[in-house]
A = this chain, B = another copy of it.
Amino acid sequence: MEVTTEDKIIQAAEKIFVRDGYDGARMQDIANEAEINKALLHYYFRSKEKLFQQILRRKMQAFLPKIQKIVHTDLPVLGKLEAIVEGYLQMLFANPRLPIFLIYSAYRDPSILEHMPREIFDDLIRFLRKAIKEGELKKVDPEQLVVSIMGMCVFPFVARPIASHMLGKDEEQYSIFLKKRKKEILRVLEELTIDSGGDK
């Protein structure tokens, strides 16, 4: 299984675009990163814009499928929420700059959102609504709750430079802070669930 030139370009372009954004990225940087010539980029993808669109689409599709599986597993509310938060945070640890890249790109050209799968959200919201009806979850707006969960997960990664400065933490301390995040988010979510067993 050889690595084709196209693969090398895609790899390199992902790195540079995600790091620098469309406007900040330079074709020369991508070429350097791929260890090929700048002209080859155009040979394979015609233009910066077209290359960017490819990368964006790939990145969007890598975004949610893991979460989707979790949503469809059969777990009690808190267990499912825990799995979702964990899966989501895992993705963020592996791709800390992905959310801001996607967010920024969506401002630049909202039409790209057409390619973004939406069912995961719907399924999750449906699940939460059912959980409320069945008395496993306190009465909250499920849509609002999903956004709150995403916010609690994503924000410390997206706003990392500002947040670490605000908290007076260096890189290492902030990494530790992030690792404790799951427990603390679940601490909050716990309070929203209703303990049917009564034990604990």
Q: How far is the CB of A30 from chain B (nearest CB, A)?
A: 15
- A interface, over-half SS: helix
Interface pair A159/B24, CB less than 8 Å apart: no
How many copies of this chain sit in the oligomeric assembly? 2
Asked if A168 is at the interface (CB within 8 A of a chain B CB), the reply is: yes
The 0/1 profile, CB within 8 Å of B marked 1, for residues 106-134 of chain A is: 11101001001010011000000000000
Q: Specify the chain B residue showing the minimal Cβ separation from A184.
A: B144
Complex CA–CA separation, A121 to B12 (angstroms): 38
Asked if A185 is at the interface (CB within 8 A of a chain B CB), the reply is: yes
* List of B residues within 8 angstroms of A99 by Cβ: 159
Asked if A200 is at the interface (CB within 8 A of a chain B CB), the reply is: no
Chain A positions within 8 Å of B, measured between CB atoms, are 20-21, 23-24, 99-100, 102-104, 106-108, 110, 113, 116, 118, 121-122, 138, 140-141, 143-145, 147-148, 150-156, 158-159, 161-163, 165-168, 177, 180-181, 184-185, 187-188, 191-192
Q: With contacts A24-B108, A150-B163 known, what are 11 further pairs, Cβ within 8 A?
A: A103-B158, A106-B165, A110-B161, A113-B165, A147-B163, A148-B184, A151-B153, A151-B156, A154-B155, A188-B191, A191-B192
